[in-house]
Every structure is written in structure tokens, then in C-alpha cells.
Structure 1
Amino acid sequence: MFIWDTQVLPVVDPLCSIRAYFYHSTIAWIHHSLILQAIERYCKIRRLKLLQTRTRQLCFILLQWLFDFTFVLPVFLTGNMKKLTIDNFCFVSLNTIPLVFYLAGISFLLSDIILSVIYKLLVRYVREVSLRVNGNYRLKMQRDLTMVHRIVLINVQLVVVGFPVLIFIILTAIRTDLLPNNTARILIMIMNSPLSVMLLILFWITPSLRRCLIDNWNQLKQLLGINKNRVQPLFSNHRY
């Protein structure tokens, strides 16, 4: 994951557990931020004032960050984040399977459950009130519901890609000699690769974002075209 993790050190690296701690906290932060986005859309559709002001939104974001960087602390403080024996890689110790499932459950399973509940509640609410509201508000609710649906799909995609890592952890818990060396690093790279692909998916499934980028690109081309088409003087006005 980092260049320091590729070095075979004769002594224990004191920063290894810190890097593993920030890695697990960041993964949880990414998934739980999707929950905040879904809650914001839920409050917007239901016309709740929970996240109406910027101050409340900032407070919820800070609480989410505090939670994501706190629930990993028990694993970090008990010394269960170290370099793997089968790979020169800083990660949670695979010898303590309950701690592995503890981190995976809060980072992945919790986000899946909450997002699924929010989406089902929104679908039920939109179906109930769609016949009692005007056309403009109905379209607005449909757009917000579509956004929540996309958030759920993105989170599911990230979780599905993480299944190879779960299989690797189970195999390692059974026998450490079943997999070759440096397998963990490759699987972690596979699990993190969708984070960059996710930007392309958002660009493709979000028409407003795509339209905004296209408009900016057209304005940039027009600006460059104006600069190129300027009339140049036939004679230089510089005096020597």
C-alpha cells in the first residue's frame, strides 16, 4: 500500500500499525459518507429540517468522521494491526477473525443495511404521496429518489469488489500456505480500484454533471478560439 511496506525491516516498523489504522478508517469513511448523502436526500424528499442548515450538515459530517476514526481504535490499541506474515503489508491481523469481521461489518455491512432501509422507505413514501402532489414536486422527488438509488448501487459495487479479499481472509485463516506471497497486496489493489472507476460511473449516470462538464469544455474551446482568431497587426508598433 505504501513504499515503506515493501521494505523488509529487521525490526518492527512502529508506523505500520498507524498506516493500517488510517487505511481502515478511510475505507469506513468512504462508505459512511454515502449514508450521509442518502440521509440528506431522504430529509429533502420528506421535507425534514434535520439537515436544512449548513451548521447541522457540518455537525453530522464531523460526527461521522469522529465515529469512523474511533471505532477502529480498539483494534489499533490492542496491537492487532501489524504486517502480515504472508505478505509485506500492513493490515489488521488475520489471526483474529472476530476483529476482521468487526471492521468489515461496520464498514460494509452497516452501510448496506442503512442504505437499503433508506431506499425502501423513500420508495414507499414516493408511491404514497405521488398522487397527492403536483407534477413539479413529483418530478423533484423522482430525481432525488434516483440519486439515492445510484448511491445504493455505488455502495453495492464497492462491497462486491471486496468479496475476493474476504475469501482471501477465510483461506488465510484456514491455512497460510494455500496462497502465494504478495497475494494480499494484489487483492487490496483490486478492492481499491473501483474508487477511481466510480468517478467515471458518476459521470455517466449523472446527466447534470455530464452536462456541466460539457458546457465548461465548450466555453473553454470558445475562449481558446477567440484568442486564436484575434487580428494580428501587420506591422509591429514597437519602437527601438
Structure 2
Amino acid sequence: MGQIIVRREGAVGTVVISNPAKFNAMTAEMWRLLPIRVAELDADPEVRVIVLTGDGDRAFVSGADISQFGDERTDPQALAAYNAALDDAFSAPLKAGKPTIAKIRGICMGGGLGLAAGCDIRICADDARFRMPAARLSLGYNQAGVHRFAALIGVQNTYDIFFTARIFDAHEAQRMGFVGRVTGADGLDAAVAEFTSAIAENAPLTAKAVKLTMNAYLDRLGEVQRPEVQAAIDAANLSEDYREGVRAFGEKRAPRFVGR
């Protein structure tokens, strides 16, 4: 089973997302635990910066563990509880008062992309591969999450990655503005260590004030939550197409969507 591991090294606290047999796919319990672990590091006075990373060199997070979708997303009540856990996890790096960094190697897709988007800074190796596959599962992505992507990468790039569900590489992610730095795989540890060291040496109150200011700016960009939009999201998540998307994923075949 997957787990969320916390490590401390000087002023740097690291949250390790560990489910390597499934490319660090997030189980429901991992989604629930992640905000708790981030909050623990945020409350530690010795920690100045928080890093989120995946276990091993094959993946940051490959997404949600879709094998659990039959249990966790089968009715409106279960869906609401599951989505609440996702929202809490995605917003945990944003809510932390300390700078948060996503350190990305390998696969960063679906929920992994959303989690990385919740961090303040994203640094990746040149072997990173990104994808937003919601449209391959008929998943309705939450309004705040779509607004966050639009703020980070712009309207056209947001349409692109959601509409096509295509895979894009580290350099395109940097061109879009999703990642700030790309390094060789062998240099990722050193690049992140240099960056976190620079943050840790600076005034934490300034970092906190800047983060709060930026979050207020981003919140204003997506402050309108429309009920008709939520209705469309819920319709996608409770549709026959959604069930077909999950079946197709499990059977390793292309889905056959009918629009209902």
C-alpha cells in the first residue's frame, strides 16, 4: 500500500509520496494524509521550506489510483467525500505558510499534475512527462483547479492540455510556464538543494507575506464559482461515460464515449 513519508534535513522538510509499484499513484488514504503531513511541516519552527516529491526515479505522482474508483466514486455521497479529500490535498501546499516546491522526475499526470500545480515552485528533471487525462475518463475537473491552471499556464495552454489529454515533456512544460527550471536527471537533487538553501537563508516573514499576497491574487482570478458549471462537472463524474472510462482504463483499451 502507498504511504506519505516525512523527512527533515535542516531547514528543509520533504513529503515523499510513496507507492512505487504504481508509479506513486495516490490512494484515497494517501490523499487524506497528505494535508496532515504538509501541515506538520508547516507547524515545525525549524522548517523553512517544504518539498513534495515522489518515491524513486520513475514518477512524481502518476495520478489517483484508478483501481479504487469503483469504491470511492460510485454515488454522489462517495464522490463528494473523495473530491473533498482531493481538494484538501491540492490546496495543502497553497495553504502552507512556507514556500512549497514540487521536485519532479518521471511521470507527473492527472492528480500529480494538480498536486504540482498547488506548489509555489516546480523544478523538474528533463525526463519528466506531464499529462492531464481527465477527458480520457470523463472526469469533471473542479472549478478552482481549472482556474489555477489558467493562472499558471494561460487560457490557450489550459484548453490544450484538458481538451487533448496529450503527453507533453519537460521543456514544453517550461515553455508553458508550468515549471520554472529543468535540469538533467543527475542534477535534480543539487538544483533543488541549491534552491531550498537560498530560501532557507532568507527572511521567513517576507516569504510568508509574498505567498499570502500571491495567493490572494490567484484567488481573485478564479473567485467566481458558478452553480451551472458545478452541475456540468457533477454530470461528467456521475455519467455512463465516466464508468466507461474507468472500465477502459482497467482493460487497457480506448474508451467509447457517447456523451451521457
Normalising by structure 2, we get a TM-score of 0.27
Structure showing greater Rg = 1
Higher helix share: 1
Higher strand share: 2
Higher relative contact order (CA 8 A, sep 6+): 1
Normalising by structure 1, we get a TM-score of 0.28
